[in-house]
Structure 1
């Protein structure tokens, strides 16, 4: 249990800053992002790695949820966590686009006591913060963090249904159009929301997959406009990691700073 808690907090802390600034990235990778027929099965891998989408460390499936095109929640079947990744099976039975989401959050920080810097326990919960800080503590800094990692799978034609309704909590991606069937000759637009409002002027990082086969990571740095929208011109076909981060007003009592992060895996095809 302790190992899983540390792994979850590690993923959150990695996402708390811009993806470009970190060597490791959390991701969700479907075995296929497009399927045909009346129903289909895909396998979903969930992990954290330096070489994008290569199994290295598993991410817990505890907070993984799948939303069908009509907005209903779909069961995660056959979940297993191995040494290098977690996996589960997804049965596609509705026509349209499914959203797979892995959320995380927590608090971390520290304080000074008698001139010595001390850290809060890594598995501390928000309700324990006040009792964990001595009355004579100084330089108290408590960081509240939330993360959201997503990917998308479509059965038949792409849809823009209830699965993509924002929760209004943390940093989210709201489609400008559909979230599937991307091709290299068509730029894509995405809108980022922070607590349900447009996340203006935040840094967005796009990294092509397969980083282990390149000397350069090939990062593309972008910035959202006043409406939280960013336009992406895909340089080539393949899997991409899309990441963003933002700061917000703390929601946990005692927190001095709040960091929100988002990451998604998106497949781009040739026309």
Structure 2
């Protein structure tokens, strides 16, 4: 439980990372629809749910902090979430898609956490940002252990015909570059995804695809794949529905009995909520 509580705390602080563990609480952004048609004014609306839950897309735990949400669209336009609702179990917001094309809704977070020994030899733990590091860790601290955490959570929505502007990678952290457009996925068809780490192919990277609705199935239904030397994987898409595709780097080290989990200097994670349409 201590591990799960740590993950939840990071998510609430906007510093969450997505674990491939089936037991971890997962942050997610779920749009009301990924394909919408414009009205007479050329605009279309979508509502997005934001939460952290144990059951994927189940509203069963806590809301996801959305202060850092970034919405980009065709031609580099930026949108501001509207009608924000802060609930006990989830947050919601609306987006007015003012132009035809594809929009990316992203929550990108960075943080630092770790431990140190104070002048009396007591072990202290902290969690913060690069900016707060000097305040969190005293100048006379010893045995300082740091982990820098970078996470990217995304989903995509298209108004009318899809476009590719928002699919270009930033070159920072772990990212998915969809070879097939993320809003044109159909059950039974093959799809290729390319993963990059700091703009370079993420070779032999473990990737998980999990459908929502586990509480109605009774089984997780997870699909696991590893990328090739080019950072790519190809799979046949399963049944229609909303899915989370996720990956984290580096791969978790095997636990050593009697020792705490290994701290690594850096962690990077990626997760996207995608909709697979009927064939």
The TM-score range, normalised by the shorter chain, is 0.7 to 0.9
| Equivalence for 1:252 | none
Distance 1:31 1:194 in 2: 30
- The alpha-carbon deviation at position 219 of structure 1 amounts to 1.1
Q: Which residue of 2 aligns with 1:243?
A: 246
Q: In 2 relative to 1, CA 70–128 (structure 1 residues): closer, same or farther, beyond 3 Å?
A: closer
Q: Aligned pair in 2 of structure 1 residues 52, 136: CA closer, same or farther (>3 Å)?
A: closer
Three-state SS of the structure 1 residue aligned to 2:113 is: strand
The reply on whether 1:75 has 2:83 as its aligned counterpart is no
Structure 2 partner of 1:31 = 32
Of 145, 158, 161, 1:157 maps to 161
Rounded to whole Å, the distance in 2 between the matches of 1:238 and 1:193 is 26
Task: Count matched residues.
Answer: 255
Q: 1:267 aligns with which of 261, 267, 275?
A: 275
Closer, same or farther in 2 for the Cα pair 1:14/1:163, shift >3 Å? Answer: closer
Aligned counterpart for 2:123 among listed residues 104, 112, 117? 117
C-alpha distance in structure 2 between counterparts of 1:130 and 1:200, whole Å: 35
Does the alignment pair 1:144 with 2:145?
no
SS of corresponding position for 1:200 = coil
Question: 1: CA distance between counterparts of 2:83 and 2:245?
Answer: 27
Report the secondary structure of 2:21's partner residue. Answer: helix
Distance of 2:44 and 2:129 partners within structure 1: 40
Match of 2:188 among 185, 190, 197: 185
User: 8 Å contact 1:7–1:60 — kept in the other structure?
Assistant: no
Q: Give the RMSD, CA atoms, in angstroms.
A: 2.3
Partner SS, residue 245 of structure 2:
strand
TM-score relative to the length of structure 2: 0.83
In structure 2, what is the Cα distance between the partners aligned to 1:7 and 1:144?
12
SS at match of 1:79: strand
Over 3 Å counting, the alpha-carbon distance change for 1:91 and 1:112 in structure 2 is same
Cα deviation for residue 118 of structure 1 reads 2.1
What's the offset of the Cα at 1:46?
A: 1.1
Distance 1:130 1:183 in 2: 49
Tell me, in whole angstroms, the C-alpha distance in 1 between the residues paired with 2:215 and 2:14.
Answer: 20
2:31 corresponds to 1:50:
no
3-state SS, counterpart of residue 124 of structure 2: strand
Q: Is the 8 A contact 1:72 1:163 kept in 2?
A: no
Structure 2: segments with no counterpart, 5+ residues: 1-7, 252-262
> Secondary structure in 2 aligned to 1:70?
helix
How far has the Cα of 1:111 moved from its partner?
2.4
1:63 and 2:64 are equivalent in the alignment = no
Cα distance change of structure 1 residues 107 and 21 upon mapping to structure 2, 3 Å threshold: farther
SS in 2 for 1:183: coil
Higher relative contact order (Cα pairs below 8 Å, separated by 6+ residues): 1
